[in-house]
Amino acid sequence: MLILSIIVISVVGTIAHFIYELSNHNKVVGLFGAVNESTWEHIKIALTATILWSLVDGFIYGTNPNYFLAKLLSLLIIIFLMPVLFYGYQFIFKKDNTFINILIFYVVIICSQLLFYHFIKLNPVNFLGQYLSCIGTFIVFGAYMTLTLMPLRNFLFKDPISHKYGFNAHTDKPNKENQEQKK
């Protein structure tokens, strides 16, 4: 099941990278797919795929008392590890490399799923741990949706190409400035 989860999440995450553009910039699709090239949008597509995979692993492991703890930790590792690896290698090598960026995406997914399956197998957490993990999972999901609609104004959310944020940062999307310059 581990290998299958890594493959499916990787494929869905890869599709989520392109789905906003393919949908002709549909905002509903943009809630789940990358709307620009910021670090946050790459975190988001890994989260999207992992959350969608919850429809499968929730059916299989949903009665496991550690399910929400494992799910929460698998989501948090994505949020933490992707920027650490991305900015870490850029700090060390002083340059950006598309191959390494893609590799980081898949390494993060692998780590996320390894962590999930590790915690599923541990001794059951008590009721309070289950309850707090469930709440934490829904908080992460809520933050995921909120930050897509209202991105923070910091480096994680800033598109490196357009230097804008959120939906407005998509470089292929026509905006007022581009239309006025064409006149």
- What is the pLDDT, as a whole number, of residue 96? 87
Q: For residue 178, is it within any domain?
A: no
**Please, what is the angle between helix 2-22 and helix 98-120, to 10°?**
130
175 occurs within a structural domain: no
Residue 130 lies in a domain: yes
Asked whether residue 138 is assigned to any structural domain, the reply reads: yes
User: Is the whole model's pTM more than 0.85, yes or no?
Assistant: yes
Contact in structure between 171 and 161 (CB atoms under 8 Å)? yes
CA-wise closest residue to 167 among 142, 145, 148: 148
Alpha-carbon gap, residue 46 to 145, rounded angstroms = 14
In a domain, 181, yes or no: no
Establish if 176 belongs to a structural domain. Answer: no
Low-confidence ranges of the chain (pLDDT < 70): 171-183
* Token pair 């929400």 in the structure block, residue: 68
What is the reported pLDDT for 183?
43
Instruction: Encode burial over 154-178: b for 16+ CB neighbours within 10 A, e otherwise.
Output: eebbbbeebebbbbebbeebeeeee
Residue 173: inside a domain, yes or no?
no
Domains in the chain: how many in total? 1
Tell me whether residue 136 is in a domain.
Answer: yes
| Host domain of residue 116 | 2-167
